[in-house]
Amino acid sequence: MIIKTFEIDKKKFDKQNFFLVYGENEGLKKEIIQTIKKNLNGVVENFDETQINNDKQTFYEKIFNRSLFEKEKIIIINRCSEKIYEVIENIVEGKISDIKIILNASVLEKKSKLRNMFEKRSELVIVPTYKDTSITLLEIAKKFFYNYKISISQETINLLVNRCNGNRGHLKSELDKILVYMNDKKSVNLEEIYKLTNLSENYAINELVDTSLSKNAQRTSEIINESNYKSEEAIIILRTFLQKAKRLLNLYETHDGNLNYDNLVNNCVPPIFWKDKPIIKKQLEIWSKLKIKNLIMKINKTEIYIKKNSSISLMLVFNFIYETSNKS
């Protein structure tokens, strides 16, 4: 059964267990998979096509030989291609009821057996994605600023979209960055967007912060030395630290007493993107609940210092980063 991308929000998938999202629009595929997951119940597990094909028997046992006491599962298989067809066909014919399987595939040709199976069978859901146009990206940006009640000119929105080179994921990343920057501000101008979007020339701030929180002092130093950060980026870097520290604290507080880091990460709401799970798990192993609370206090104090001493803002934030990344 073919479902169009704009129909996903309106659909309920009570009777469907299999979903195939394919195409070259990685950003849109990620959004669709997140939407599907919200409509389903179960513990999420991520797999890779190669991982499954290398040990099919173990995967079949996980699907078919389940305990009566096991919770429902949502299995996401990433980087799928035609090579996964045989496995999925066997599972479909096995008539499972308590497992949902979501396939994340790249481009599938019309002659693809996997694609044809999903298109022809009503109990299977297939969602094709296509490249974004400047019009779709402009609509995403306009909706973002409208929802957050941020005043911005059309010229500035056009600049932002143009600098994202047609990449939805890049646009979403830039919008998240702007939201961090805005804090209590109600408007953003052309000059500010110029400064903010220049950050794409550096390593992603997310990588810098994650590396520091993972106590990888050498890699943290390399990123800083190889990048060309500007003074106005200091607050953005610091607030990214704050967001990530609060997420770690929320994981502890939401699942208080549960020190199984795999469960903490897999059952997080909102869900954690599969690529980030190993990083966050490592950070949980490093940072206790008390240490995270102390870190948040230190972040807030550092932001106050930066606002009082803007001329040395980068030095202050780099000192904070080096101190955070050192093992102690």
User: What is the per-residue pLDDT across 91-143, written as a single tens digit (0 to 9) for each?
Assistant: 999 888 788 999 999 899 999 999 999 999 989 999 999 888 888 899 999 99
- Distance of alpha carbon 91 from alpha carbon 66, whole angstroms: 14
Domain ranges of the chain: 5-128, 134-200, 205-325
β-pairing, 99-105 with 124-128? unpaired
Residue 298: predicted pLDDT: 95
Task: Tell me which CATH code domain 205-325 carries.
Answer: 1.20.272.10
Query: According to DSSP H, which parts of the chain are helical?
Result: 26-38, 49-54, 56-64, 85-93, 113-120, 134-147, 154-163, 168-182, 190-197, 205-213, 217-226, 234-254, 261-266, 277-286, 289-308, 313-325
One-letter amino acid identity for 167?
N
At 206, the pLDDT band (50, 70, 90 cuts) reads confident
Average pLDDT estimate for 308-321: 90
pLDDT, residue 161, reads: 84
pLDDT tens per residue across span 250-275: 888 876 655 677 877 877 766 676 77
Tokens of 259: 């020190």
Q: What is the mean pLDDT of the chain?
A: 85
Per residue in 182-200, pLDDT (tens digit) is 877 889 888 788 777 654 4
Q: Please check the confidence at residue 202 and state whether its pLDDT lies above 80.
A: no
pLDDT given for residue 200 in this prediction:
47
Report the pLDDT value the prediction gives residue 199, as an integer from 0 to 100. 45
- State percent of the chain over pLDDT 70: 92
Residue 156 pLDDT > 90: no
Q: Is 1.10.8.60 the CATH classification of the domain at 134-200?
A: yes
User: pLDDT at position 291, please?
Assistant: 94
Half-sphere exposure of residue 310: CA atoms within 13 angstroms, side-chain side: 3
pLDDT of residue 259: 65
Query: Is pLDDT at 201 greater than 70 in this prediction?
Result: no
Q: pLDDT per residue over 33-68, tens digit each?
A: 989 988 888 888 888 898 899 999 999 988 888 766
> What are 295-305's pLDDT values in tens digits?
999 999 999 99
Three-state secondary-structure class, residue 39: coil
Which pair of structure tokens corresponds to residue 204?
């992603």
pLDDT at 270: 61
Model pLDDT, residue 256:
60
Q: Please, what CATH class does the domain formed by 5-128 belong to?
A: alpha beta
For residues 213 and 208, what is the distance between their CA atoms, to the nearest angstrom? 9
Of 10 and 93, the one with more pLDDT: 93
- At residue 183, the 3 state secondary structure works out as coil
State residue 243's pLDDT score. 86
Residue-level pLDDT at 67: 66
